[in-house]
Every structure is written in structure tokens, then in C-alpha cells.
Amino acid sequence: MILENSRALIVEGGAMRGIFASGVLDAFMASDFHPYDFAMGVSAGASNLVGYLSQQPKRSYKVITELATTSAFFNPKRFLKGGDLVDVNWLWQEANHRYPIDKMRLFNSIPFWATVTNVTNGHADYYRIDESNIKETLVATAALPIAVKTPPCFSGGCYTDGGVADSIPVKEAYRRGARDITVILSHPLSYHMNPTKHPWLMKKLLSRYPGVADAMLHRSENYNASLDFIRNPPAGTIIRVIAPPESFSVKRLSMKREILDEGYQMGVAAGEEHMVNLQGWHGLNEENCHFCI
């Protein structure tokens, strides 16, 4: 028996690496594959979920390849002059000007949460997306610390990128009742996050926000703990993982179209393979079964 609210979809962020998840979700849409009870996204993962839940194929792909690659969004010269390295407000506004969200479909879809990091304490907060907070939440979840000089504020708090405190909110999904969880990662399965090499520099750069600095210093252990949870889920819980292949070459700030297109096609192929595996059309071994089905 499938319990209500038991099937969750989680999409990791990772800036331009989000191109992989956009391909996975486009493959899902092409097959009208919508088996989830709720969804949770982080940073670029939340943006990808907007396209999926509003049933707008290629929207996320276009936002990444046509807008996030421009100097209006990513601008090192602006950063050196005291501005933001990435302009998430511009990206939100331009994306919705060129590719308006189908809000009717989005807000009549399954519940959708985005993860943000509270700059006061460095802890993760989870906002359910609705028409009153969609702009503020989606901007905040992608507001990379340091790259965005002034954290966006709304609903009584100020926030930075959700990936700082909870890059893969699989434990939160479990806490909310999910026992059948699908996770779309932005790194290959072999990935293990290393601690920051220069903690003193992190503390200096984030001296105005000690809670965020502390979260950044503990980010690797929290990230790897989420991976351990995925690999060793609690009894009665299934966690299915869709991850890029080891040959995935997209980096956080990759801007070359050919590299992004290759990463997108890897996502499409992974999404299609995931749906095939769910049908049990070919065998799986004990080692990777919970990752692949």
C-alpha cells in the first residue's frame, strides 16, 4: 500500500551543473511521468522543478543555456568593482519575461518546497512555494554566498543559497513522511565533498555572517552525511538516485554551450533509463539496485 505523501522528488542544485537535472526532468515530461506526492529543490534544483511542475519542457534548459551564460548574469568584472558575481534577480526577471511560468499548472501541481539558508544562524529553512513567495524564495535559494553581496530578505529573515545548509534535503523529506524518495544529483555517484581548504579565509570573507561561515565550514560533513543516508536508508525506505555519469564534465560555472548540451543529453538519457528501470526491463545487481530503480 502506498501511503499518502510517501513519494518525494528531490533535486540538488549546483549552478550550471543543474543542466543534468533539466534533462532528466524533460525526459520525465516527455513520458508524462509524474508519480510524486511532493518535491523539494535546492538552488538551481528548485528552478528546474518550476519547469517540471508547470509542465514546460525545455524552459530550464533555455534559462541555463541562453540566460545564465550571459554577462548580465555572471560578470567577474562587476564583482571586482564591488557588485555581485551573479545577478539572480536579473535572471529571475528575464527568465519570466522570456519564458513566463504557467502558474495555473504550477500551483495546482504537487506541493513544492525550496531550501534556503538563514544567514542569522546558518540553518536550513524550507519554504513551500506559492504565488505570494515564489520570486523571493527562488531568488534566495540561488543567492550564492560571497557571489551575492547582500542576502535577499523576506518573511522576517535574510537568506542565502540553500545548498550551504542542506544541499540534498533527503533527511527533511523523510521527516515529512517520504518513504519512497527519488533524488536527482548534480555530481556522479563517486563524488565525495572535501572540507574547505582555507577555513580562515572563509571566516574572513563571511565575517558579517558568522552563521553562514560556520555552515560553510561544516558543509562537506553535512553533504556527505546526506550521501550516507541515501546509501543506507532507514528500514522501510527506498531511495532511488539519478546521477550524472563519471564522464559528466559540467562544472559549477561552465559556460560553453557544447559542454552544457552534452550534460543535458546525459540527463535526458538518465531520465529515460530511470523510467525503463522502474518497469523492470533489465536486471540490476545488489550493489546498485537502490540507486538505479
Catalytic positions, please? 43, 161
Contact 174, 128 (CB under 8 A): no
> Which of 254, 50, 8 is CA-nearest to residue 138?
50
> Which of 196, 210, 67, 34 is CA-nearest to residue 142?
67
Round to whole Å and give the CA distance between 151 and 143: 7
Burial class (CB in 10 A: 0-12, 13-18, 19+), 121: middle
Round to whole Å and give the CA distance between 108 and 120: 33
Round to whole Å and give the CA distance between 39 and 10: 6
Q: Residue 278 belongs to what H/E stretch? A: helix 257-278
Round to whole Å and give the CA distance between 94 and 86: 14
Contact 176, 38 (CB under 8 A): yes
Round to whole Å and give the CA distance between 228 and 66: 36
Round to whole Å and give the CA distance between 291 and 274: 10
Round to whole Å and give the CA distance between 122 and 210: 8
